[in-house]
């Protein structure tokens, strides 16, 4: 009769605890992605008269959304789409000239030890059941 109750509960606890422990080890041994932001500094110029229209800073390149253009005189201008910009001088199309990639690392590194989940141990109840099984068998 007792052997029936022994086989009724699946060995869930051990199979669940293992991968979680492994994940925690991987987190510590592999270097995390550096917390720096890559951004692109794009210079826009007219293709006809090569007049400089300004510079904008973007986190993704190519960009199709709104950007803030810093004009040569230092004033900032929000533009919805730089593809639609036209040269003030001759009305020519605008193309990106020099594109500079910069890496910012202003943020402090994240403290992963505070985020660690406090799980992974099998419930006490299961441990007791297992030790009981061992003693009765």
Cα within 13 Å of Cα(50), Cβ side: 1
For Zn ion, the closer CB: 48 or 99: 48
Smaller CB separation from Zn ion, 86 or 105: 86
For the bound state, the minimum distance from the C-beta of residue 97 to Zn ion, rounded and expressed in Å, comes to 13
| Minimum distance from residue 71 beta carbon to Zn ion (Å) | 14
48 forms part of the interface with Zn ion (CB under 5 A): yes
Peptide bond into 62 cis (omega under 30): yes
Q: How far is the CB of 58 from Zn ion (least distance, A)?
A: 22
Considering only residues 63 to 92 of the shown chain, the ones binding Zn ion according to CB under 5 A are: 87, 89-90, 92
For the sheet with 76-79, list strands across it: 76-79, 67-70, 52-58, 37-46, 94-104
Nearer to Zn ion, 49 or 99 (CB): 49
Total Cβ atoms within 10 A of residue 22: 10
Distance CA 40, CA 62 (A): 9
- In the complex, which residues of this chain contact Zn ion (CB under 5 A)? 46, 48-49, 51, 87, 89-90, 92
């Amino acid at each position: 009769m007792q052997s029936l109750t022994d086989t009724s509960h699946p060995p869930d606890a051990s199979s669940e605890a293992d991968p979680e422990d492994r994940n925690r080890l991987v987190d510590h041994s592999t270097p995390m992605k550096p917390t720096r932001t890559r951004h692109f500094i794009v210079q826009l110029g007219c293709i006809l008269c090569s007049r400089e229209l300004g510079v904008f800073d973007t986190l993704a390149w190519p960009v199709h959304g709104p950007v803030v253009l810093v004009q040569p005189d230092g004033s900032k201008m929000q533009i919805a789409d730089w593809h639609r910009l036209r040269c003030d001088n001759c009305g020519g199309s605008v193309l990106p000239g020099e594109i500079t990639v910069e890496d910012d690392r202003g943020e402090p590194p994240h403290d992963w030890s505070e985020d660690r989940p406090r799980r992974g141990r099998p419930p006490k109840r299961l441990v007791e059941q297992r030790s009981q099984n061992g003693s009765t068998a």
